């Protein structure tokens, strides 16, 4: 398992400066005040002013800093040292008070002995984790009694379809349920640029059905408040089959509303 995680970490270390410089992330607009958070999490989490917030798998910190701009007291963690260095630099440039810690997610309880009002994670995080049950326990451990756990993610149903540039229909290619080994990807560039040539271009991902995620959170002792599914996404999972609407969200061109593209879960830790 460690070899898979290390391959992924090397990949993320390499793409951090690419992401910071990319048009997709548009760091200059962010420095000028643009909020990185999406309408779903803004509406469903509500007012976070004065609340302590732990962001799991924070990458280079744009969402974390966005919460800080809204008045939250934030801590972001990620396993990539270059990502955390970039997050600290970005926070300083934005004159935002934010704490960032380098740690593998599963090691967090041994690294950070604190509990928070909110534990947050979002788009594209879970596929990099081999063990969702352990992830849920880490999240629960980091919550104060009465605290809120919130995740908004790409729906795993969209991960089963062929996503090459030439596809003209939704063709099933990948498993919904996790096979015995992680899915191995090589030569796929980066989601900010599919044509990008990387040194560390081999990555490994795990599929986590929504039932697995919900059950893991329940087994970790959290109480599910809601589970929502949405027919739109901030990212085009199957680019040739999707179009961007006026709100910047991607929808299926021909089957809009027929499949969930994202989902969210809100849970609380009992008092």
Q: Provide the residue range defining the domain that includes 66.
A: 2-268
204-245 pLDDT per residue, tens: 999 999 999 999 999 999 999 999 999 999 999 999 999 999
CA–CA dist 39, 228 (Å, integer): 14
Q: Are 115 and 149 in contact (CB under 8 A)?
A: no
Q: Are 82 and 100 in contact (CB under 8 A)?
A: no
Structure-block tokens of residue 43: 């509406």
> For position 1, what pLDDT does the model report?
64
**pLDDT > 80? residue 6:** yes
pLDDT tier, 130 (very low <50, low <70, confident <90, very high otherwise) = very high
Predicted TM-score (pTM) above 0.75: yes
Indicate the burial class of 35 (C-beta count within 10 angstroms; 0-12, 13-18, 19 or more). Answer: middle
What φ, ψ does residue 259 adopt, rounded to 5°? -135, 150
Q: Which residues pair with 162 in a beta bridge?
A: none
182-206 pLDDT per residue, tens: 999 998 889 999 889 999 999 999 9
Cα–chain center distance at 41? 12
38-78 pLDDT per residue, tens: 999 999 999 999 999 999 999 999 999 999 999 999 999 99
Give which of 88, 54, 49 is closest to 70, Cα–Cα: 49
Q: Are 120 and 150 in contact (CB under 8 A)?
A: yes
Residue 146's domain is classified under what CATH number? 3.40.50.150
> For position 165, what pLDDT does the model report?
83
Taking the CB of residue 189, how many other CB atoms lie within 10 A of it? 15
> For position 150, what pLDDT does the model report?
98
pLDDT tier, 164 (very low <50, low <70, confident <90, very high otherwise) = confident
Counted domains in the chain: 1
Task: Identify how many contiguous H helices and E strands the chain contains and give both numbers.
Answer: 8, 11
CA–CA dist 86, 71 (Å, integer): 21
Structure-block tokens of residue 125: 């995080």
Indicate the burial class of 16 (C-beta count within 10 angstroms; 0-12, 13-18, 19 or more). Answer: buried
CA–CA dist 155, 126 (Å, integer): 11
90-118 pLDDT per residue, tens: 999 999 999 999 999 999 999 999 999 99
């Amino acid at each position: 398992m460690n070899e898979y995680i290390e391959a992924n970490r090397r990949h993320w270390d390499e793409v951090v400066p690419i992401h910071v410089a990319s048009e997709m992330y548009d760091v200059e607009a962010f420095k000028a005040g643009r909020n990185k958070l999406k309408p779903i999490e803004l509406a469903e989490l509500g007012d976070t002013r004065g609340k302590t917030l732990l962001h799991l798998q924070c990458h280079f910190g744009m969402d974390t800093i966005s919460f800080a701009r809204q008045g939250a007291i934030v801590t972001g963690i990620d396993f990539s040292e270059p990502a955390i260095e970039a997050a600290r630099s970005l926070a300083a440039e934005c004159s935002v008070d934010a704490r960032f810690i380098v740690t593998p997610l599963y090691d967090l309880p041994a690294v950070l002995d604190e509990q928070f009002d909110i534990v947050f994670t979002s788009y594209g995080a879970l596929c990099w984790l081999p063990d969702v049950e352990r992830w849920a326990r880490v999240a629960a451990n980091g919550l104060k009694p009465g605290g809120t756990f919130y995740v908004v993610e790409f729906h795993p149903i969209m991960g089963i379809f062929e996503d090459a540039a030439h596809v003209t229909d939704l063709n099933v290619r990948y498993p919904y349920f996790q096979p015995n080994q992680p899915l191995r990807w090589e030569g796929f560039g980066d989601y900010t640029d599919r044509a990008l040539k990387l040194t560390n271009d081999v990555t490994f991902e795990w599929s986590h059905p929504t039932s697995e995620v919900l059950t893991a959170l329940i087994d970790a002792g959290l109480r599910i408040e809601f589970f929502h599914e949405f027919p739109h996404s901030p990212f085009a999972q199957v680019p040739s089959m999707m179009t961007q609407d006026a709100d910047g969200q991607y929808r299926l061109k021909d089957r809009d509303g027929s499949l969930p593209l994202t989902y969210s879960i809100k849970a609380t830790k009992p008092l």
